[in-house]
Structure 1
């Protein structure tokens, strides 16, 4: 393969100081920059790199289709997203084939529950793709609590709050340490699952980890009935230690 390269650049949990040296170097020399965002929003990834991009960089905002009114189980949901990713992929592939390098901004790590992986699976093998790893949002969250997430032989489980309550309970029961992501409208359901498994009193809610408005609260002290979609709930392991 020849031509330009697509760089999936992990930005970490939101603090520019936590980006890698390689990510910083690619950003400051970028000619083309692509990033995901909701319609009408700047996007968290783009906001994270504000002031780091060259003034003449050509930006390509990839705006998600409006899917909130369509249930996840509806085939139209996947169809709309598939068409969206296909359109983004075609634009990036055309730039690469024209010899242009493109930096795709990725919140957290590109290969950890990120949107970039849907581009990667469509681009890989067709144009050069290079992935720059980064600190994950969950790492920023458990560091914010000031307590190690795992000890000794602890098993860590990462769950999506979008899972059914019984599935959450099953996985929570069979682990030592826990990270629950994608909270948002699933907050009450996740809290019920934590209560059913006896973990609620050990859980922490971290909002906006590693960002200026970060908050870290024991779950038992949370009074709101909802949390930002990108909040993370943690249960620390209690494993073997010297």
Structure 2
């Protein structure tokens, strides 16, 4: 009797903040050895995760772009947003499952860490009970951002609060006022709202804007000096803690 075919594995591989030198040894090995490489991107765009691994993929590797059906076209508060994305992630998992059912491994490229506000988490939850899924952790984008400022993010007993720029302004302001150290992610078109919240919380003058952390086009400046600037979606705002120290 012929033995049943062994299922392949889906690897959620963290790429870190953007510099190839900051990939873990395991992530580097998996990316370079992959026969099937999947990654998220906006339609018509190369995809940030894919750009990070330029020059690393094996000759003949099959690339599987997973293009978001919406990004900013539908508001987060619209019920259609979750419905559309849910169908999208279900379709993505079907594509990956077809490969693993055929005994193939698939590497899914993940910006930053796969379990930190990443799209891969939605695939993981849909796949983990049916097929082998392994997650390779990585340096987060925010680690790259605060390191780029040249100052520690927390001291002593500082409380670090991580916020999404997509949150309502009053929620942002309240949490900013209560935190010692702050990281704000997903800035993009939310930049004006985030600025107002920081001012309301009395933290604006201490805020730094970091764009493309650890990448060749990295930019670091005081947020107050970037008035009117349109920031990329993956820029990060940092406010350092000033807590207890010897």
TM over 0.5: yes
> Which residues in structure 2 correspond to 1:192-207 (within 5 Å)?
192-207=196-211
**Which residue is equivalent to 2:21?**
17
Measured after TM superposition, the shift of residue 205 of structure 1 is: 0.4
**Moved >2 Å (runs of 4+):** 66-69, 223-226
* Structure 1 unmatched runs, 5+: none
* Structure 2 unmatched runs, 5+: none
Aligned-CA RMSD value: 1.1
**Which residue is equivalent to 1:8?**
12
> Equivalents in 1 of 2:204, 2:71: separation in Å?
31
What TM-score, normalized to structure 1? 0.98
Q: Matched residue pairs, number? A: 242
- Residue pair 1:2, 1:127 contacting (<8 A) in 2 also: no
Task: Indicate yes or no: 2:41 matched with 1:34.
Answer: no
> Equivalents in 1 of 2:209, 2:71: separation in Å?
27
**Which residue is equivalent to 2:144?**
140
> Equivalents in 1 of 2:119, 2:215: separation in Å?
21
> Equivalents in 2 of 1:209, 1:140: separation in Å?
6
Shift in alpha-carbon separation, 1:210–1:71, aligned structure 2, 3 A:
same
Specify the SS of the correspondent of 2:209: strand
> Which residues in structure 2 correspond to 1:45-60 (within 5 Å)?
45-60=49-64
Deviations 1:184-230 (A, max 9, x none): 11111111111111101111000111111100001121132421111
> Equivalents in 2 of 1:198, 1:108: separation in Å?
29
Task: Indicate yes or no: 2:135 matched with 1:131.
Answer: yes
> Equivalents in 2 of 1:90, 1:81: separation in Å?
14
Measured after TM superposition, the shift of residue 125 of structure 1 is: 1.2
> Equivalents in 1 of 2:182, 2:60: separation in Å?
44
What TM-score, normalized to structure 2? 0.96
